A and B are shown apart, each in its own frame.
Chain A
Amino acid sequence: MKKKTKKLRSGTYLGFAFTLPALVYMVIFIGIPIIQNILLSFKNVNVYTFADASQQKFIGFQNYAELFGAPDSILTKSIGNTLIFTVASIFFQFIIGFALALLFNKKFPGCNFFRGAIMVSWLLPVTVAGLLFKFIFARSGGIANQMLMALHFISQPLEWLLHPDSAMVAIVIANIWIGIPFNMMLILTGLTTVPEDIYESANLDGASWFQKLFYITIPMIKPAIISVLTLGFVYTFKVFDLVWVMTKGGPVNSTELVSTYAYRLSFEQFLFSKGAAAANVLFAILLCVGIFYLKTINSDEEM
């Protein structure tokens, strides 16, 4: 009897039983839909065949071939756009977030309050943040144009969201604003793990601020940096709401991301199978980055 309880406690069944409900839930609402999505991408389901299963058949890679093979393929363009959007966002989010983390790692009056208040942009519903920036970049009434005109950078108000290049700039700026707190907090957490006395001995050796930054701080918090960059990449690469609200992928697909394109195919053109194929392309890219991330955090933590 005693032996049996002991086995349960460290053994296989109980831990498994505790975990099972959550796992089953994820299998039903994420696992199975992913498999169905893959199957769907090899079929011909659209608005005509949606209701009639007998009309649905497997057509192999035709959806993928059509999406990639079309002249001026929007999918190819949207992958490029997503890369530009992601890299530009992360570059600035990371640098600004890093700088803010260095600042707020110091003790000064108001430090906790300022740091806390900056977090708010990360928590807001992205839809609202998107509308707010849509207004900020509006041609008439938008504050961005007024500021730039007051500073004499531009002489005429710009249609930020109606020109391809400036629309991309606008959505990147909005996304930077949303993502800075995430970068700041993760790097700040990394900074608190660096022992103070390393800096003290570096000071004795007469190290400059830059030397301390590049030879002590950055190498010491490398795990945090890798986390924030890869997670940032994953989170940014799948952004949907912000772009859907601000530009809907326009003008002329210049801000179309893979996520918005997949949505448009499925729910505006009702080409469900094509939408599924586009979503799978997004999935494949994220999976690669995700596995890279898991490998790196796995190597320095036992489970």
Chain B
Amino acid sequence: MKRERRQKIIFFVVGLVIFIIFLFPLYWMLVTALKTQVEIFEVPTPLWPRNLTLEAFQKQLSASSDTLRGFKNSLIISVGAMLIATVLSIPAAYGLARFRFKMKKAFILTFLITQMLPSTLVLTSLYIAFSGMQLLNNYFAPILADATIGLPFSVIILRSYFVSIPKELDEAAEIDGCGPLNSFFRIMLPIARPGVVVAAVFSFVYAWGDLIYGLTFMTDPTMRPITSSIYNYVQQYQTLWNSTMAFGIIAIFPVILIFIFMQKYIVSGLTNGAIKA
């Protein structure tokens, strides 16, 4: 008994140390954003700001900065991509989970394969196509491209949700005179709601994190998503680290919120999407 308790304390201490080391980079980002430039370049640099200042945040949040505009652009792009990916993936996952048809296996493999493709592979062709359609510097270009990241992932995790719903439920619905469409909307969809949330969250996070599509399709600075505006900001102000880190914190803010409030969904999505496939 005593030995077990001691072991638990050791595990706790080890866990705590790992936690501190692992999250140190994030702590460092926050602390740097709250420091003055002078303190950042001091040797040794203080681990906690002596002159705590919100100046960097104020600068980033002022009306004239790119930050809020980038935030808004990212929000539009990510929500758009999330909607496309989720709306298309729900019926596809249902079809692949509940029906037997020719080519089904090939379809599942297609979604699995597309998940592994690099963006660079389609980037040049999409750029040429979008530029021909006058879609560069238009929200639709990154929305349409970002949805291709979330869509296959969503199909795969939602399919595993639908597969896990007992078949007896469909049969009961059929006996009660429910057609397939009706049972999809009335019975399957409500039960699979946690899966839909996971799919939507991941599609949003993927689109929010995208750099390459935003950077390539949005050349007009006012249309850039936040990832490419922060990238351009750093190119311009190489060593203004407190401002850059404040910018970074604003850029990760929605992701952190999702992380705090939807962690259980994220864990299930990560494991289901990768292993069960």
Give the Cβ gap from A75 to chain B, nearest Cβ, in Å. 13
| Partner-binding segment picked from A34-42, A60-68, A212-220 | A34-42
Residues of A within 8 A of B119 (CB): 238, 240
Interface positions, chain A 244-291, Cβ under 8 Å from B, are 244-245, 259, 262-263, 266-267, 272, 275-276, 279-280, 282-283, 286-287, 290
Given contacts A25-B88, A267-B216, contact A131 B120 (CB under 8 A): no
Q: Does B26 sit at the interface, judged by CB under 8 A?
A: yes
Residues of A within 8 A of B109 (CB): 294
Contact status B121-A283, CB under 8 Å: yes
Interface size of B by CB at 8 A reads 100
Give the Cβ gap from B2 to chain A, nearest Cβ, in Å. 15
Contact status B28-A279, CB under 8 Å: no
Residues of A within 8 A of B187 (CB): none
Residues of B within 8 A of A276 (CB): 124-125
Contact status B99-A14, CB under 8 Å: yes
* A12 and chain B: residue at smallest CB distance: B101
Identify the interface centre among A34, A223, A279: most chain B CB within 10 Å of its CB.
A279
Q: How long is the Cα–Cα vector from A33 to B125 in the complex, in angstroms?
A: 5
Interface positions, chain B 247-277, Cβ under 8 Å from A, are 248, 251-252, 255-256, 258-259, 263, 266-267, 270-271, 274-277
Residues of A within 8 A of B169 (CB): none
Given contacts A14-B180, A19-B96, contact A131 B16 (CB under 8 A): no
CB < 8 Å A-B pair total:
300
Q: How long is the Cα–Cα vector from A131 to B43 in the complex, in angstroms?
A: 21
Classify the secondary structure of B's interface with A: helix
Contact status A108-B8, CB under 8 Å: yes
Contact status A227-B28, CB under 8 Å: no
Given contacts A22-B89, A238-B120, A263-B123, contact A127 B255 (CB under 8 A): no
Chain A interface residue bracket vs B: 35 or more
| Partner-binding segment picked from A85-93, A109-117, A164-172, A198-206 | A109-117
Contact status B100-A18, CB under 8 Å: no
Contact status A23-B251, CB under 8 Å: no
Q: Does A103 sit at the interface, judged by CB under 8 A?
A: yes
Q: How long is the Cα–Cα vector from A223 to B263 in the complex, in angstroms?
A: 25
9 contacts between A and B (CB under 8 A): A18-B91, A22-B92, A34-B117, A100-B18, A125-B252, A132-B28, A185-B270, A279-B120, A279-B124
> What residues of chain A have their CB less than 8 Å away from a CB belonging to chain B?
5, 8-19, 21-23, 25-26, 29-30, 32-34, 36-37, 40, 50, 100, 103-104, 106-111, 114, 116-129, 131-136, 138, 140-141, 143, 146, 150, 177, 180-182, 185-186, 189-190, 223-224, 227-228, 231, 234-235, 237-238, 240-241, 244-245, 259, 262-263, 266-267, 272, 275-276, 279-280, 282-283, 286-287, 290, 293-294, 297, 301, 303
